[in-house]
Structure 1
Amino acid sequence: MTTTAPRRDRDTPRPRPAAAPDGSAEEAAGDAVMGLDMVLVDAARGPLRRMVPPARTLAALGTALARHPEVVVRRGGELVREVGRIAVGRSEIAPSPKDRRFADPAWSGNPLLKRTMQAHIAAAQVAAGLIEDADLDWQDDERIRFALTNVVDALAPSNVPFLNPLALKAVIDTGGRSAVTGLRRFVSDVTSPPRVPTMVEPDAFTVGEDLAVTPGAVVLRTPVFELLQYRPSTPTVRQVPLVIVPPTINKFYVTDLAPGRSIVEHYVAAGHQVFMISWRNPDERHAEWGLDTYGQAVLDAADAARRITGSEHTAFQGFCSGGIILSMVLAHLAATEGLDRVAAASFAVTVLDWGRAGTIGALMDEEAVRDATERSRKKGYLDGAMLAEVFAWLRPNDLVWNYWVNNYLQGKTPPAFDILFWNADTTRMSAALHRDFIDVAIGNQLTEPGRATMLGTPVDLSTIDVDTYVTAGIADHICPWQSCYRTTQLVGGRSRFVLSTAGHIASLVNPPTNPKASFQVAPETPADPEKWLANAHKEKGSWWPDFAAWLAERAGEEVPAPESLGSAELPVLGDAPGTYVFDK
């Protein structure tokens, strides 16, 4: 159902988008937006299944350790000796300086708390050592480590109400009100999906007032998407329009957050004509919308942008899963002699080659895949709330237990972060698209010509011979930068690869005003990503101006900016951000 955004009282101050003290929670939320195969499988089956490794993996661990009992004895002895040192106050174990869970001085100053923390760290180190000693194959090793990380994080003493000094101080300072508020928040969160602590209040921002406010209009509406055209802010613009293909997970406005943090706003200010696809939030009526449906939508959007601007060409930028769709569309255009209408293409934090991509590839099995696709088929869609739950459990320390302490133990309201608000503004995924994405990812189909199809055409990425601009995040745990880099080897044409700071989405929402922003770039893109890295040099600042300049060289001549949006054939249907963005 389409709804309008709730209107905030005009006299109520609007929150400014905050940044986390060290950026960790905000960046972790961004990091947890991709990892296509694991995310889509776990979202259908339930993320907590991942906490317990398959029986065969546990059996492999047990067998490996049974072959080397001396290892178990040695590690057990290490733990006993360390616990002894902890008991008499002689242990030198300390948390990482970056571990915010134990940042309160009480963890080091109070003897009981210090010993409890040290015992927890010691036990975790021994468990990790045993896994290392077991020398399992890479898939079993990743499965065990993933489960161990979740268990260790859950059992941290900082999560225990009567041990956490922040919780105890809050109870004293508020006369017990913090405990009551925290319990109320806990009950509210566990009784409605996603069943994880709230990361941002649902009324912290209003889309169209605080976020997604770059001026523009809806110039095309179909059952699948709305096309937004943004109003130029310069007297002249580049002739070739840029069509942005956003993720099909969450809403499009990750590219148009608050003023000053909006990619769209920056592109418009650089003199580009920008069009944005805003996907409809599908429900059971749209179960059959698959990759072909979304691929045709990209073609329809490009055709509309050309008709409105009068340009014979279009440039594209695909984000995350939108980049996957875009790559297949470009291969379709190459096969149907339509690629000559494409001026350039960009892929942002997009993985097209899933070969051995770390935890993501390791945690899949055929039974899980079949179960996941069958569940979404029966329902007609993949629930966005389940996706949000999966995202949280991919980085539990930052996205679950951090808010467990803040919301429940301290009874506080979570800070207002714009990225976290976007992350919580979930969308569904049609059953057919869910199935198609899993097939493409699990089978790594885009690496072999003809294994995947788009609109009836075999997909061969090597036929995409337009210039491409590929970005990745160096700290992206879900889409490793090396996997993103391999796009430069899959597509034809010249590629420019840019390695941004931070993680998945935080590397994208990285405006020039960010004093920590930097990126790495090299003149060539050799086959080996590590060789590229060795030859790369660091540029201070955001990659946004670099991309805008790169695109300007391929986006035609400067022409007078249009005085109005849309055209006689495609008139304005309403103001940006449109109506589909408000679908719940």
Structure 2
Amino acid sequence: MTTTAARPSPDSPRPRPAPAAADAGGGTSAEEAASEAVTGLDMVLVDAARGPLRRMVPPVRTLGALGAALVRKPDAVTGRGGELVRELGRIAVGRSEVAPSPKDRRFADPAWTGNPFLRIPMQAHIAAARAAAGIVDDVDLGWQDDERIRFALTNVVDALAPSNVPFLNPLALKAVIDTGGRNVVTGARRFVSDVLSPPRVPSMVEPDAFTVGEDLAVTPGAVVLRTEVFELIQYRPATETVRSVPLVVVPPTINKYYVTDLAPGRSIVENYVAAGQQVFMISWRNPDERHADWGLDAYGQAVLDAMDAAARITGSERVSLQGFCSGGIILAMVLAHLAATDRLGRVAAASFAVTVLDWAKAGTVGALMDPEAVKEATEKSRKKGYLDGAMLAEVFAWLRPNDLVWNYWVNNYLQGNPPPAFDILYWNADTTRMTAALHRDFIEVAVGNRLTTPGATTMLGTPVDLSTVDVDTYVTAGIADHLCPWQSCYRTTQLLGGDSRFVLSTSGHIASLVNPPGNRKASFRVAPETPADPERWLASAQEEKGSWWPDFTAWLGERSGEEVPAPQELGSAELPVLGDAPGTYVFDK
């Protein structure tokens, strides 16, 4: 997998440059782009409960702000409009120099530039999109209204691209000739199948592309604890000696745990075990309406239960912990609870991967969470008892429509092709539900930005004060992450009270996690200190070639106690093996 993050197309109305260090060059495939957006903050899912049309139309208040801004700056429309009219005139007579970016795969076919019947609509679309983006730039809206307008505009602009039109797309026309029209029938069948079942976006992977337990989630291990909320998997050691302090991994509460255990060679767990760590993994149950009342406290207690089990099995008085994305949010609150109850000494070290604890200006997602949306979303999930995972997948797709919707529209429907097999996309399609209480709790914590204020929220009855968490922490982020901006992830180093090592990958959201050694394009940045300003940190950071996985295992190894003989059997007399990994909860639909 490449480490370059997907970016909006050049005619997208979000022309915001990423930091220079983010551009590794070369462009990205749709599969890689999709891998950057398949998971993220639970808090973004205010929008998931409200229906797809909400993503196309900004709130009335935002539209009002845009209208007022246009009244204040009428030149924004007249100036950009005049430029567009002149450009359209040049396009009509074949004198325009408007061209797609070399990285824009939609218009990569030579026919788009060589055939005037295709070149004209392509150039007109790009020119109009740039004019629309320019107007938004000129009116200078507040950050939240700006993000909302750009988000909706991106959806509309990408939907209107001529590459989505069957009789204009040269790939579709060639498919008609090559297949004798069979692509039209096949594409229509795929379209009907996708429309009739959530998430109602083009399929990114075939449902039978992989098999969990055979192709994915195959690191050897066993279930050693099963509760109503989770199963705990202990992985079989791969080395003669292991570190005495076990590592308990808290995966996201969206999708299944095996984003940490994908195909061999790309498995995070496999790498940790090979480095001599004793690894325990939480596998969350896929909840339904019976579990509507499971909130942050229920999931926090689950982390404590997993810690207790790992300690009892290994005989260690301490454990290390690692949280991924939303799992990191739960972990941070549990650590604060342990500090408040004088039990933080049980934790040897903690790690947070692509986790946002401070939601101040956290990007498009944060901008979408207005009070009206929050009220509507939480009420809908309350009535149903859960938030459907398919709706979450739909939201994430529309956060990157050109890469995650329209690319597959062309491939699946216009060309009639099956989507390519890709392990991360299969994992993404294996959706889970979120309980109504957890949905509500996450939203309240995020919208109120409560983890930044001591005592503003609680975990298991104790006030949460992250500054009291003084264990060593390892914090990772992706410089091109559009769901969890790296600057927001960086602020975790300022909220926690201990020493932090911050690592910034050149990747985006998921590629910064699934980033195995051996990837020639992989690199990460580190610095000796973590000042308050993330840009100061970036200026002082040094680039290291390769994956951050070995850096993390080395850091963790220094805090994981002495080496001891690897256990010959999994579990213990008190907590016997209940079944082989990947367990049973991972198969819940």
Q: Name the TM-score class by shorter chain.
A: over 0.9
Partner residue, 2:34: 28
For 1:419 and 1:21, the matched residues in 2 are separated by: 19
| Structure 1 residues 122-177: Cα deviation after superposition (integer angstroms, max 9, x where no partner) | 01111111111222222211111111111100000000000000000001000000
Partner residue, 1:408: 413
Give the TM-score normalised by structure 1.
0.95
> Does the alignment pair 1:537 with 2:542?
yes
Is the 1:254–1:419 Cα contact (8 Å) retained in structure 2?
A: yes
Gaps of 5+ in 1: 1-19
For 2:332 and 2:358, the matched residues in 1 are separated by: 12
- Give the drift of 1:32: 4.2
Partner residue, 2:22: none
- Give the drift of 1:308: 0.3
For 1:27 and 1:108, the matched residues in 2 are separated by: 25
For 2:73 and 2:517, the matched residues in 1 are separated by: 54
Give the TM-score normalised by structure 2.
0.94
Task: Select the residue among 313, 316, 322 that pairs with 1:311.
Answer: 316
> Bigger CA drift: 233-242 or 512-521?
512-521
Is the 1:245–1:316 Cα contact (8 Å) retained in structure 2?
A: yes
Partner residue, 2:97: 92
Partner residue, 1:501: 506
> Does the alignment pair 1:40 with 2:49?
no
Q: 1:82 to 1:21 in 2, by over 3 A?
A: closer
> Does the alignment pair 1:266 with 2:271?
yes
State the SS of the aligned residue for 1:315.
strand
For 1:68 and 1:579, the matched residues in 2 are separated by: 60
Partner residue, 2:149: 144
> Does the alignment pair 1:54 with 2:55?
no
Partner residue, 1:197: 202
The 5 Å alignment of 1:354-373 reads: 354-373=359-378
State the SS of the aligned residue for 1:31.
coil
Partner residue, 1:133: 138
| Structure 1 residues 378-407: Cα deviation after superposition (integer angstroms, max 9, x where no partner) | 000000111111111111111100000000
What one-letter code is carried by the residue in structure 2 that aligns with 1:36?
A: D
Task: Select the residue among 520, 525, 535 that pairs with 2:530.
Answer: 525
For 2:446 and 2:64, the matched residues in 1 are separated by: 28
Q: 1:170 to 1:21 in 2, by over 3 A?
A: farther
Gaps of 5+ in 2: 1-25
Partner residue, 2:570: 565
Partner residue, 2:298: 293
- Give the drift of 1:187: 0.5
| Structure 1 residues 416-454: Cα deviation after superposition (integer angstroms, max 9, x where no partner) | 000000000000000000000000000000000001100
The 5 Å alignment of 1:49-448 reads: 49-448=54-453
For 2:355 and 2:567, the matched residues in 1 are separated by: 32
> Does the alignment pair 1:461 with 2:470?
no
What one-letter code is carried by the residue in structure 2 that aligns with 1:311?
A: S
| Structure 1 residues 208-257: Cα deviation after superposition (integer angstroms, max 9, x where no partner) | 00000000000000010000000000000000000000000000000000
What one-letter code is carried by the residue in structure 2 that aligns with 1:95?
A: P
Percent same amino acid at aligned positions?
A: 82
What one-letter code is carried by the residue in structure 1 that aligns with 2:406?
A: W
State the SS of the aligned residue for 2:356.
coil
Is the 1:497–1:521 Cα contact (8 Å) retained in structure 2?
A: yes
Is the 2:31–2:422 Cα contact (8 Å) retained in structure 1?
A: no
For 1:284 and 1:328, the matched residues in 2 are separated by: 25
Is the 1:57–1:143 Cα contact (8 Å) retained in structure 2?
A: yes
Is the 1:29–1:392 Cα contact (8 Å) retained in structure 2?
A: no
Partner residue, 1:11: none
For 2:175 and 2:557, the matched residues in 1 are separated by: 54
Q: 1:27 to 1:241 in 2, by over 3 A?
A: farther
For 1:197 and 1:396, the matched residues in 2 are separated by: 11
State the SS of the aligned residue for 1:278.
strand
For 2:75 and 2:493, the matched residues in 1 are separated by: 48
Is the 1:26–1:419 Cα contact (8 Å) retained in structure 2?
A: no
For 2:499 and 2:281, the matched residues in 1 are separated by: 25
For 1:282 and 1:345, the matched residues in 2 are separated by: 27
What one-letter code is carried by the residue in structure 2 that aligns with 1:26?
A: E
For 2:202 and 2:27, the matched residues in 1 are separated by: 19
For 1:40 and 1:350, the matched residues in 2 are separated by: 15
| Structure 1 residues 319-369: Cα deviation after superposition (integer angstroms, max 9, x where no partner) | 000000000000000111111010000000000000111212222211110
For 2:253 and 2:474, the matched residues in 1 are separated by: 21
Is the 2:354–2:477 Cα contact (8 Å) retained in structure 1?
A: yes
| Structure 1 residues 64-85: Cα deviation after superposition (integer angstroms, max 9, x where no partner) | 2233333322222111110111
For 2:38 and 2:582, the matched residues in 1 are separated by: 25
What one-letter code is carried by the residue in structure 2 that aligns with 1:411?
A: G
Is the 2:27–2:103 Cα contact (8 Å) retained in structure 1?
A: no
| Structure 1 residues 251-273: Cα deviation after superposition (integer angstroms, max 9, x where no partner) | 00000000000000000000000
What one-letter code is carried by the residue in structure 2 that aligns with 1:29?
A: S
Is the 1:373–1:431 Cα contact (8 Å) retained in structure 2?
A: yes
Partner residue, 1:450: 455
Q: 1:22 to 1:61 in 2, by over 3 A?
A: closer
Is the 1:30–1:419 Cα contact (8 Å) retained in structure 2?
A: no
Q: 1:106 to 1:354 in 2, by over 3 A?
A: same
| Structure 1 residues 255-292: Cα deviation after superposition (integer angstroms, max 9, x where no partner) | 00000000000000000000000000000000000000
State the SS of the aligned residue for 1:202.
coil
> Bigger CA drift: 479-488 or 124-133?
124-133
Q: CA RMSD in A?
A: 1.1
Is the 1:30–1:423 Cα contact (8 Å) retained in structure 2?
A: no
- Give the drift of 1:57: 1.8
Q: 1:21 to 1:485 in 2, by over 3 A?
A: closer
Is the 2:42–2:254 Cα contact (8 Å) retained in structure 1?
A: no
State the SS of the aligned residue for 2:36.
helix
Is the 2:231–2:585 Cα contact (8 Å) retained in structure 1?
A: yes
Is the 2:476–2:504 Cα contact (8 Å) retained in structure 1?
A: yes
For 1:321 and 1:451, the matched residues in 2 are separated by: 19
For 1:316 and 1:272, the matched residues in 2 are separated by: 12
- Give the drift of 1:317: 0.3
- Give the drift of 1:522: 0.3
Is the 2:30–2:404 Cα contact (8 Å) retained in structure 1?
A: no
State the SS of the aligned residue for 2:205.
coil
What one-letter code is carried by the residue in structure 2 that aligns with 1:147?
A: A
State the SS of the aligned residue for 1:59.
helix
| Structure 1 residues 94-146: Cα deviation after superposition (integer angstroms, max 9, x where no partner) | 01111110001111111111111000000111111111122222221111111
